Structure 1
Amino acid sequence: MAALAPTSCLLYRELCHRELGTPPLSSGGACSSVAICGGGVDSSRPGRGRRARSRGEVKAGPFWQSASRPTSIEMEAIATMEDFDRILAASQEISQVVIVDWMATWCRKCIYLKPKLEKLAAEYHPRVKFYFVDVNKVPQALVKRGNISKMPTIQLWKDGEWKAEVIGGHKAWLVLDEVREMIQKHL
């Protein structure tokens, strides 16, 4: 069945446009527009006519993934001691958990881990707020306040106090699992 009859082709073209939500083409050609409007029947393999997905067609995702929910949330930077104090005071007022990623731009593990933490931030948004501190760009008094000796160090702060930390010197998926456990314990 290499070609469809003209009437079948017109019906198929109309169905194709309804499915894709596009306006019908005005070309009068029989089956040449089937490929344009969204995929046709695979006639190269007899008895195996299956519909090929067109380029513009969208495959539906799982129902639990909402289109409005972001997949990652960019972490905010903490640049000064005043920023840090303000963040801790604000989180204390609403009893919100704060995660602080102490990192450096020269640290490969830190750079690798940051986007993964941003995806984790999307999972816990808005109950947990994620921040990062580049230890080379802040006053050393702030680094001493966090008691940072290794990087990356991911700390959990709640009610203005340090509660727990994970030093991320091992595999990223293990670090993320430890951070999840730390968050679950203090939520």
Structure 2
Amino acid sequence: METINTYLPYLKGYDYTGKTPVIIDFYATWCGPCKALSPLIEKLAHEYEGRIKVLKVDVDKNEALAQAARIMSIPTLFFIDREGNIERHVGGLPYTALTQMAEKLIG
């Protein structure tokens, strides 16, 4: 099973404690679907502030992490539970699906 521990060396400045679920949005500034998803991710981050940590990773500026995470298409979202297990989703999601995933993470 894929876990966050695999990628921690690449997440500089971020210390995963397992207390808070994490959503990582892998994107690029030139990516149309990423631009469409971005305001939804920002809304989600605001709505779930303190309950879920939301990180955005620009794949062009963080190539080592993108390669380690095997990001082949963007946007790619990692939904990481408190145990560090990752559920990966490639492509955009409607806000209702994002909130369903968020609720699943916080249980």
Where on the TM-score scale, by shorter chain, does this alignment land: which range? 0.7 to 0.9
CA contact (8 A) 1:103 1:152 kept: yes
| Structure 1 counterpart of 2:99 | 180
Give 3-state SS (helix, strand or coil) of 1:161's partner. Answer: coil
Q: 1:160 to 1:150 in 2, by over 3 A?
A: farther
Give 3-state SS (helix, strand or coil) of 2:16's partner. Answer: helix
Give the number of equivalent residue pairs.
Answer: 98
CA shift, 1:82, in A, is 4.4
Q: TM-score, normalising length from structure 1?
A: 0.46
| Structure 2 counterpart of 1:133 | 57
Per-residue CA deviations over 1:37-82 (Å, capped at 9, x if unaligned) read xxxxxxxxxxxxxxxxxxxxxxxxxxxxxxxxxxxxxxxxxxx814
Unaligned runs of 5+ residues in structure 2 are 1-8
CA contact (8 A) 1:100 1:155 kept: yes
In the alignment, the residues of structure 1 paired with residue 39 and residue 100 of structure 2 have an alpha-carbon distance, to the nearest angstrom, of: 19
CA shift, 1:160, in A, is 6.3
Q: Kindly, what percent of the aligned residue pairs are identical? A: 32
In the alignment, the residues of structure 2 paired with residue 149 and residue 82 of structure 1 have an alpha-carbon distance, to the nearest angstrom, of: 18
Give 3-state SS (helix, strand or coil) of 1:182's partner. Answer: helix
1:111 paired residue among 32, 35, 39: 35
Unaligned runs of 5+ residues in structure 1 are 1-79
Please report the RMSD computed on the Cα atoms of aligned residues, expressed in angstroms: 2.1
Structure of higher RCO (CA pairs closer than 8 Å, 6+ residues apart): 2
In the alignment, the residues of structure 2 paired with residue 150 and residue 91 of structure 1 have an alpha-carbon distance, to the nearest angstrom, of: 28
In the alignment, the residues of structure 1 paired with residue 83 and residue 59 of structure 2 have an alpha-carbon distance, to the nearest angstrom, of: 20
The structure with the largest strand share of the pair is 2
Which structure 2 residues correspond to residues 1-187 of structure 1 after superposition, within 5 A? 81-83=10-12, 86-87=13-14, 89-92=15-18, 95-139=19-63, 141-159=64-82, 161-169=84-92, 174=94, 176-187=95-106
In the alignment, the residues of structure 2 paired with residue 184 and residue 154 of structure 1 have an alpha-carbon distance, to the nearest angstrom, of: 15
